[in-house]
Amino acid sequence: MSTVETGGYVGRAMKRKEDPRMITGRGNYIDDMALPGMLWAGLVRSPEAHAKVLSIDTSGAKEMPGVVGVYTAEDLKDAWAIPMPMIWAPADTEIKTPEHWPLASGEVKHVGDPVAIVLGTDRYGVVDAAERVIVDYDPLPVVVDPEAALEDGSPLVWEQFGTNKTHTWSVAGGDVEAAFAEADRVVSQRLVNHRTAGAAIEARGCIADPRGEGVTLYTSTQIPHIARFVLSLVCGIPEDKLRVVAPDVGGGFGSKLNVFAEELLAVVLSRRLKRPIKWIETRTENMLVTHHGRDQINYVDMAVKNDGTVTGCKLRVVADLGAYFTALTPFIPELGFPVANGCYAIPNIELTFDCAFTNKFPTDAIRGAGRPEMTYWIELMMDKVGRELDIDPLEVRRRNFIPAEEFPYETALGIVYDSGNYHGSLDKLLQNFDLDAFRREQEELRQKGKYRGVGFSTYVEVCGLAPSRVVGPQGVGLQGAFWESAMVRVSASGTATVYTGTSPHGQGHDTGFAQIAADRLGIDPANVQVIHGDTDQGPWGWDTYGSRTLAVGGEAVARAATKVQEKAKRICAALLEAAPEDIELADGKFAVRGSPDKSMTMVDIAGAAHIPPQELPTDIEPGLEETSFYDPENFVFPFGAHACVVDVDVDTGKVEVVRYVAVDDCGPAINPMLIEGQVHGGVTHAIGQALYEQVVYDDTGQLVTSSFVDYALPTAAELPSYETDRTETPSPVNTLGVKGVGEAGTIAATPAVTAAVLDALRPLGVEWLDMPHTPMRVWQAIQAAKGDGAGPRASDQGVEVSEHGGGAAGSGPTGPEEGGAS
């Protein structure tokens, strides 16, 4: 690529183009839309976690006012060409994959499994009617604990497989057995990374609008392009008859990167009835049937030398995948494998993933997706290695960091980290966070009976999905490609439109992409419109997830805009009678090198491109529009160092985050304001998981946390303002030098919070805690450490405290007297 000439918009904290409509109530979210003749849909869902469906009586519902139809799986059995697809097919690994249809028939496998859909003219009326559908269930045995599910004799989620084990996947590099044989010490730990929800404040929803031969699906999704493809496959409708539009999307966090049953049902029924169909998810449905994240148990053994060098690592993951697979369910635990060695030069690594069916909704990608889990154990293990060897855990990290001069660095698993400076980000963190001063303050507080702790996380993550040949069918085995597209069109009057194949839900694509294009076109970002989320507009794309938007989609924008710039230079050169290579773009002017008085603006050039003057050679095509399809050669690897300070009230067990200091490196900033916003949100998501949030099923498979009453998101009152900073280590992978940042905070922060809680409680003898660090769990850990036997057991409230159910539910920032799940 030629050297990028910019107008200086990239790098500025420009205010967002998206905001004026959103702050005035003029956004356009899915539930804001209504179409003439529209019907409402309501789902009939199983109250049982596992049961045979003996009969479904829809007659009462059909008699309700306004009801137009009630449909069961039997009624729609001809509507589907294939089941809802799971898209991971790794070489040499058989994954037991159950058929997953939009409506269940015969048996239900989790609470919320839909068995019928009601259509009617009134929003409230379809809810009333759904309650009149009578379903006769014969309950079957239930399993909700993945380790219990893998034991002989466990109830089976899918009888035909004869086991609940979906698959085992493993990967190794180096000589792990030798590393352990030669180790001075083996440091081990079992860690639980519990089930969480994406919990976007806008739940899901869609409207299917049949027109002529085709149908348009408006849907609150992260993946309009993939959705069109999947709708086509499952419904057997040619893609040219399908249009998918993502309007303003009220948050995703991974939870909207599937094509869900309700979207498929709306499409087929709208075609059948020739009327638009709208479905809006309730929050309870969102907790029941929008995929969850995490839910795995990690067994880690680290081989170390007495100087703190980590020479080997073995990880066994037990992952709870739920009852069915959504698109990526069995792949999410493994997804973090490229960063299994963290920031560290660990030469010998072995990872084994044992994955299990349970009678819960499937897990899939939620913010971080696999990398938070990897980062959680590796960072807490570095702390534990330090403690066992009596070496400062930050010094253990430094001794194991991959040195800055060794990038690009190939890990034991054959992954090439693009760029990094791990010492640099930790050094900067410690400039911003005076650890000596903290330790003095901590000691003074302890003298007064106050328990304050600090935890650190030095993370690296992997994002920028593509590269297609690495992750695709012949590589990791995803049945997709994940390059990205952009088209840049300059109008006759010199304004520009950028079409991107990515699809935003809060990230600020409109603003950041306008900055990238504006610099390359020599115009103001105010005159750059960004179009996304409509499969009828712009080239095919692979949508937004996995922190890929900027590093893949943004680079595509840069490349397409650079192509437009190159054509603009040819036009300019022809009209100014100069050579194209002598045209320079600076300060909004295309000028002849050495003759700054001879120049044109983009307005002049666009006019000439669209209404060619006689002087313009005919071998230059009219128009000013270019497309780029960009498939990167490698992933990108953002990194950073975070510190979290917590206070623990040892009388109540309440944990409060009192300070959070972050240094992140995602390469050069396009818009530093947007980066800060992503870090704030990402860190908060992780604090939520570490302290408050847990999806809890009881032993019968009932979802205890089915609303925001029970699933406790952090509020402003629980959090401090954050202290963020950055280092900038460019990636060599793309011309912008950028890496993603949407998930970095979430990946970094859970171990920092847990480490801080453990640091606070260490004087009390508490050595380990699993998340979420709710008041009751913390209080019980303190009592257990005191030796009065109040460990994990039935509490005074009669609530069993376990990692899969019971006491952690709804335990926001309250005292140990909380009733938890009861």
> For another protein, which stretch binds (CB under 8 A), given 145-153, 196-204, 413-421, 629-637?
196-204
Asked if 626 is part of the footprint of another protein (rule: CB under 8 A), the reply reads: no
Q: At closest approach, how far in Å is the CB of 446 from another protein? A: 25
Residues near 656 by beta carbon (within 8 Å), at least 6 away in sequence: 646, 647, 648, 649, 718, 813
> For another protein, which stretch binds (CB under 8 A), given 322-330, 487-495, 584-592, 701-709?
701-709
DSSP state at residue 717: G
Q: Name the amino acid, one letter, at 631.
A: D
Distance, CA of 154 to CA of 170 (rounded, Å): 24
Single residue of 32, 94, 213, 434 touching another protein by CB under 8 A: 32
Interhelix angle 555-576/602-610, rounded to 10 degrees, is: 80
Asked if 371 is part of the footprint of another protein (rule: CB under 8 A), the reply reads: no
* Phi and psi, residue 286, nearest 5°: -60, -40
Instruction: Please give the helix or strand (H or E) that residue 295 lies within, else none.
Output: strand 292-304
Single residue of 5, 11, 31, 822 touching another protein by CB under 8 A: 31
Strands 583-586, 310-322: pairing is unpaired
> For another protein, which stretch binds (CB under 8 A), given 29-37, 376-384, 477-485, 756-764?
29-37
Residues in the chain, total: 822
Asked if 344 is part of the footprint of another protein (rule: CB under 8 A), the reply reads: no
Distance, CA of 221 to CA of 200 (rounded, Å): 11
Q: At closest approach, how far in Å is the CB of 229 from another protein? A: 24
* Closest alpha carbon to 630 in 725, 728, 560: 560
Single residue of 23, 36, 92, 238 touching another protein by CB under 8 A: 23
Q: What angle do CA 651, 654, 657 make, to 5 degrees?
A: 135
Q: Which is nearer to another protein, 203 or 496 (CB)?
A: 203
Single residue of 59, 63, 65, 124 touching another protein by CB under 8 A: 124
Q: At closest approach, how far in Å is the CB of 456 from another protein? A: 19
Q: Which is nearer to another protein, 20 or 47 (CB)?
A: 20
Contact status, residue 593 vs residue 584, Cβ threshold 8 Å: yes
Distance, CA of 196 to CA of 696 (rounded, Å): 9
Single residue of 113, 461, 676, 698 touching another protein by CB under 8 A: 676
Contact status, residue 327 vs residue 259, Cβ threshold 8 Å: yes
* Phi and psi, residue 787, nearest 5°: 90, 20
Distance, CA of 117 to CA of 443 (rounded, Å): 61
Asked if 248 is part of the footprint of another protein (rule: CB under 8 A), the reply reads: yes
Distance, CA of 602 to CA of 624 (rounded, Å): 10
> For another protein, which stretch binds (CB under 8 A), given 49-57, 405-413, 709-717, 733-741?
709-717
Q: Which is nearer to another protein, 420 or 775 (CB)?
A: 775
Asked if 506 is part of the footprint of another protein (rule: CB under 8 A), the reply reads: yes
By CB under 8 A, how many residues form the interface with another protein? 57
Largest CA distance in the chain: 94
Q: Which is nearer to another protein, 320 or 718 (CB)?
A: 718
Q: Which is nearer to another protein, 14 or 490 (CB)?
A: 14
Distance, CA of 161 to CA of 98 (rounded, Å): 9
Residues near 677 by beta carbon (within 8 Å), at least 6 away in sequence: 508
Binding mask 262-301 for another protein (x = CB under 8 A): --------------------xxx-----------------
* Phi and psi, residue 212, nearest 5°: 55, -130
Output the CA torsion sign for 514, 520, 523, 529.
negative
> For another protein, which stretch binds (CB under 8 A), given 23-31, 156-164, 474-482, 617-625?
23-31
Q: At closest approach, how far in Å is the CB of 284 from another protein? A: 7
> For another protein, which stretch binds (CB under 8 A), given 63-71, 368-376, 439-447, 676-684?
676-684
Binding mask 730-769 for another protein (x = CB under 8 A): ---------------x------------------------
* Phi and psi, residue 746, nearest 5°: -70, -35
Asked if 203 is part of the footprint of another protein (rule: CB under 8 A), the reply reads: yes
Distance, CA of 350 to CA of 356 (rounded, Å): 20
Asked if 719 is part of the footprint of another protein (rule: CB under 8 A), the reply reads: yes
Single residue of 69, 469, 708, 822 touching another protein by CB under 8 A: 708
Binding site for another protein (CB under 8 A): 15-16, 18-20, 22-27, 29, 31-32, 34, 123-124, 199-203, 248-253, 282-284, 505-508, 673-674, 676-677, 680-685, 707-709, 713, 715-717, 719, 721-723, 745
